[in-house]
Amino acid sequence: RRFLDPSIEHLHDPYLFVEMKQAVSRIARAVREQQRIVVYGDYDVDGITATAVLVKFLSRLGGRVRAYIPNRLEEGYGLNKDALAAIAEQGCDLVITADCGISAREEVAFGRSLGMDFVITDHHEPPDELPDAVAILNPKVDGSGYPFRDLAGVGVALKTVEAVIRAASRRQDPLVYLPGYLDLAALGTIADVAPLVDENRVIARCGIEEIRRGRNQGLSEVCRIAGIDQASIGVREVTFGLAPRLNAAGRMGDSQLALELLLSSDRRVAAWKAQQVDSMNCDRRSIQQEILDDILSSLPPPERLSDSIIVAAGEDWHPGVVGLVASKLAEMYYRPALVLSREGEYARGSARSVPEFDIHWALEECRELLCEFGGHQQAAGLTLQWDRIPQLTDKLKSIAREALGVIRPERCIFIDGILHCSDLDMELAEQLKSLEPFGEANPPPLFLMRDLPILEYRTVGTGGRHLKLVLGRMEAPVEAIAFGFGDLADQIRSERVESVDVVGEVSMNEWNGRQHLQMILCDIASAGSKDIEPAGATAAD
């Protein structure tokens, strides 16, 4: 029942964090004594929303609070001494971190020497030695006491807010006040690809409902400019509509703009800032595509590439988008990819991988060539001297060849069942909808449909990036959308493809209160041209 009907009543007690009492006590004293508070956040959507949640809440409490988010291009991730020195000079008694700080032992010590206390709220993997802070709230820290370790950074910020509300509202139900922050919490949780299980499922489901209510002017304006029907918004729209626009501000060097947008209560101001982040996102797309085209011009097609890993480096590539380019290469070639941008004598970049290859382990094997690196199995960031790139490339190719072989790894799609056109109806869609929100660790069920005649097809979206189809038979047509498959339209036309096999999810497309069934495809092929064998699947009929 908790899975099918998540409620904020199912949230864990925030005081299960063993250091929550210390955090609440210090925050309450800062508000009570009108001490100066700085919320120091990260520049991605998780960090920006975590910062917004804390600033919004502390402002409502009457606290003297301001935010600081480092410039991604000039300062990099996390606490830095120059920023802390400037914060101290402007006047600060308490720094509350948002989605950062767990590895900043030296920086926290420096800040404390300037007379500032620290409360760390973070969710990243902790180092062996932790910062000397008043309190550390991180569910991944051994002995944290918290039962769910996969909160996003904004989730930890939300638990901090909940704990302060509980302490300040003993005579009232604290859950009455919490929904006002759930929209931001859902946005950050989904954008950070946190597992949508346990407490994150509650945050995502309840938070999406809050976004639909349209109380946050900034989110409403981003929805408007992105062409999203806010009343029926879901995880997909957050992932591909809201998050990229807000992330673009940080990638292009102005996370403060995204924060101001989320905190704006004036519709005209919010509309102006939403237009700015949308423009930044357009610039980001253009820059990303230029870099991708540059790399692809020197690579053979995926089926002819013998290397088991891709390493690309450029003199003037924008460092804010190299991770996105690496992701696209890993998706297109289905093998790990590193993209590096030159910064003087150094190169800084990002790596993305496939499930079969642990990129963090591979970089660990190359440690002697790197200045620094960090991340996890599927994604990492790294810095090295520019002239060491050839050595790194050779070593990574050797490691990948041994781990993956010279044959390209195959992308596997696990199918949950087989459907026929007659199986598709609103009842099935409603049953599947009860399993939402779908996302990391709770993927949507995928179904195979075979030998569907193509009744109609056309490209949609900017540059015809997507493929929209009507499949099946006239008496029972199936509408389908295949995101990113727009280039198949020419192939369908030139090869005169009449029928296709497809794999996708069943969804309800909602717009202006009207609903209709739609298949969202993740793979499409000429009927019978691929071996698609659903492991353990059974026909729906």
Q: What is the pLDDT of residues 206-262, one digit of tens each?
A: 999 999 999 999 999 999 999 999 999 999 999 999 999 999 999 998 999 999 999
User: Which of 327, 269, 330, 249 is closest to 69 using CA atoms?
Assistant: 249
Pairwise CA distance, residues 28 & 61, whole Å? 9
What's CA 424's distance to the chain center, in Å? Answer: 31
Report the half-sphere exposure of 322 (CA within 13 A, side-chain side): 27
Better-predicted residue by pLDDT, 510 or 288 = 288
C-alpha R_g of the chain: 24
Mean pLDDT, rounded, for 325-353 = 95
Cα-based angle 490, 336, 326 (whole degrees, multiple of 5): 65
Listed in sequence order, the residues at least 6 apart from 533 whose beta carbon sits closer than 8 Å to its beta carbon are none
Q: What is the pLDDT of residue 536?
A: 40
Structure token digits, residue 394:
């050779």
Structure token digits, residue 164:
């302060």
Banded pLDDT at 515 (limits 50, 70, 90)? confident
Let me know: does 339 contact 350? Beta carbons within 8 Å: yes
Mean pLDDT, rounded, for 417-423 = 91
Distance between first and last Cα of the chain: 27
Listed in sequence order, the residues at least 6 apart from 300 whose beta carbon sits closer than 8 Å to its beta carbon are none
Other beta carbons less than 10 A from residue 339's beta carbon: 29
Pairwise CA distance, residues 421 & 425, whole Å? 9
Structure token digits, residue 333:
């070639």
Q: Of the ranges 21-25, 127-131, 315-319, 355-359, which is most confident? A: 21-25
Mean pLDDT, rounded, for 456-472 = 93
Q: What is the pLDDT of residue 408?
A: 60
Q: What is the pLDDT of residue 1?
A: 73
Cα-based angle 314, 318, 319 (whole degrees, multiple of 5): 95
- How far lies 10's CA from each of 15, 116, 146, 159, 259, in Å? 14, 36, 14, 13, 29
Banded pLDDT at 538 (limits 50, 70, 90)? very low
Domains and CATH numbers, the chain: 9-205 (3.90.1640.30), 214-283 (no CATH), 298-404 (3.10.310.30), 417-526 (2.40.50.460)
Q: Which amino acid is at 302?
A: P
**Model confidence over 405-416: pLDDT tens digits?**
765 656 788 899
Is the pLDDT reported for residue 375 higher than 80? no
Structure token digits, residue 384:
């090295």
Pairwise CA distance, residues 492 & 525, whole Å? 10
Mean pLDDT, rounded, for 140-152 = 97
Average pLDDT of the chain, as a whole number: 92
pLDDT over 90, % of the chain: 79
**Model confidence over 501-513: pLDDT tens digits?**
999 999 988 766 6
Q: What is the pLDDT of residue 58?
A: 98
Q: What is the pLDDT of residue 531?
A: 53
**Model confidence over 381-395: pLDDT tens digits?**
899 999 999 999 999
